[in-house]
Chain A
Amino acid sequence: MGLNREHELHGRRRGRNLGVAVALGAFVLIVFGITIAKLSNGQMIEGFDHALRPSLLPQEEAR
C-alpha cells in the first residue's frame, strides 16, 4: 500500500482549503472594488508630490 493513497478525508480537506482560498480571493476583489468605487465617487486625486499643487495657489498665480 503506497503512502500517497487517496482517502475520502483528503478530498474533504482539499475542498475546505479550496473554499477558504476562493473566499479570500473574493474578499480581496471586493476590497479592491470598494476602493475603486470610493475613489471614483470622490474628487480626482492630484498627483503633485514634492511640487506646488495648483489648487492650493491663489487664483491669480494658478493661471
Chain B
Amino acid sequence: MSDTAAISPPREAGFGDYVALLKPRVMSLVVFTALAGLVVAPGALHPMLGFAAILFIALGAGASGALNMWWDADIDAVMRRTARRPVPGGLVTPAEARDIGVGLSLLSVAMLYLATNWVAAALLAFTIFFYAVIYTMWLKRWTPQNIVIGGAAGAFPPVIGWAAATGGIAPEAVWMFALIFLWTPPHFWALALFMKDDYSRAGVPMLTVTHGRAETRRQIWLYTLVLAAAALGIGFSGIGGPVYLAVAALLNARFVWHGWKLKRRSEAEAEADGYAAEKRFFRLSLSYLFLHFLAMMAQAWLVRAGLPGGW
C-alpha cells in the first residue's frame, strides 16, 4: 500500500484530551453552584477546606463525565455535537476513560470526606452513581423522561456544598436542588430542538423524538412556569430576601416570556430563522441559573455584613 496516510493511526492524546474527558464546561457550572451552596449555608468553613471541598466536588463531577464518555462512546460517535470527544475521536480508549472515571471517583469521594465530612462525601458518591449508572446506563437510552430524572445528578452540587459547610441537609439546600432540577428539562429540550437530528440518529429517546417537537415546546413552557414558581418561592425561604427576590422576578419574567414565545413558534418559523429563538432561549437559560445563584450569594453576603437585606 503506497498511501500511508490512510493507515496512520489518529494522533496521540495530549494532556488536554484527558482533561476534556472530565467535561470542563459542566464542571464550571458544578463549581459555581457548589460554591453557592457553601456560601449561603450557615456556619463558617476554613477557606482552605472550602476550596478543597469545591475542588473535589468538581473532580467527582468530572469523574462521572469520564464514565459517561466511556459508556456513551457509541452514541457520541454518531452525534455531531459529541463526535469529536476524546473517546469517539480515537484519542483515548474506552478502557482508559473508564479507569480514569473510577479512579477519580474514589479519590474525590475519599478526599471530600477527609476535607469535610461523611454526609458531603456520601452525597458526592451518590451523585456520581446517579449520573453514571441511573442516568447514563439506564434512563438515557430508555425513557424520554431521561433528562427530567437525570437532572437530579446536576442538582446535587449545591446540596453537597451545603453539607460540606454544615454537616447535614436543610430545607434551603432542597430549594437549591429544586431550582436546578426544574431548570434542566427546559434547558436540554431547547438544545434538542435546535440540534434537530442528533438524538434521533443516535436512537436516544429525547422528547423531541418520542413525542414530537410541538409537544416539546409545550413541555418547555410548562416547566418554565413551575421553575418560575420555585425560583420566586426561594425568595421567601431562609436563603431568600429582597435582593434575591428582585433579581429572580426580573429573570423569571424574561424566561417565562421567552418560553411562551418558543411555545407559539411553529417548526416552519423556527427553520426559517435557523432556530434563532431556541438558541437564544438555551443561552438565556445558562445566564438564568448563573444569576440566580449569584443573587443568592449576594443576599447571603449582605446579611452577613450586617446590611439590611434579609427578611
Please indicate whether A and B come from the same complex rather than being unrelated chains: yes
Q: For A28, what are the chain B residues with a Cβ–Cβ distance below 8 Å?
A: none
Cβ–Cβ contact A36 & B11, under 8 A:
no
Cβ–Cβ contact A33 & B52, under 8 A:
yes
Cβ–Cβ contact B13 & A16, under 8 A:
yes
In the complex, whether A37 has a CB less than 8 A from a CB of chain B is: yes
In the complex, whether B271 has a CB less than 8 A from a CB of chain A is: no
Q: For A9, what are the chain B residues with a Cβ–Cβ distance below 8 Å?
A: 11-12
In the assembly, what is the distance between CA of A21 and CA of B55, in Å?
18
Cβ–Cβ contact B15 & A30, under 8 A:
no
Residues of B in contact (CB 8 Å), total 18
In the assembly, what is the distance between CA of A32 and CA of B47, in Å?
14
In the complex, whether A50 has a CB less than 8 A from a CB of chain B is: no
In the assembly, what is the distance between CA of A12 and CA of B13, in Å?
7
Cβ–Cβ contact A16 & B14, under 8 A:
yes
Residues of A in contact (CB 8 Å), total 17
CB within 8 A of A16: which of B11, B15, B115? B15
CB within 8 A of B11: which of A12, A20, A33, A34? A12
Q: For A63, what are the chain B residues with a Cβ–Cβ distance below 8 Å?
A: none
With A37-B46, A37-B48 already in contact, the answer to whether A30 and B55 are too (CB < 8 A) is yes
In the assembly, what is the distance between CA of A38 and CA of B49, in Å?
8
Q: Which residue of chain B lies nearest to A8 when distances are taken between CB atoms in the complex? A: B11
Instruction: State which residues 1-49 of B face A: CB under 8 Å.
Output: 11-16, 18-19, 46-49
Q: For B47, what are the chain A residues with a Cβ–Cβ distance below 8 Å?
A: 37
Q: Which residue of chain A lies nearest to B46 when distances are taken between CB atoms in the complex? A: A37
Cβ–Cβ contact A18 & B55, under 8 A:
no
In the complex, whether B170 has a CB less than 8 A from a CB of chain A is: no
Instruction: State which residues 29-59 of A face B: CB under 8 Å.
Output: 30, 33-34, 36-38, 40-41
Q: For B14, what are the chain A residues with a Cβ–Cβ distance below 8 Å?
A: 12, 15-16
Can you spell out 19 A-B residue pairs with CB atoms less than 8 angstroms apart? Answer: A9-B11, A12-B11, A12-B12, A15-B15, A16-B14, A16-B18, A19-B15, A19-B16, A19-B18, A30-B52, A30-B111, A33-B48, A33-B52, A34-B52, A36-B48, A37-B46, A37-B47, A37-B49, A41-B46
B positions within 8 Å CB-CB of A: 11-16, 18-19, 46-49, 51-52, 55, 111, 114-115
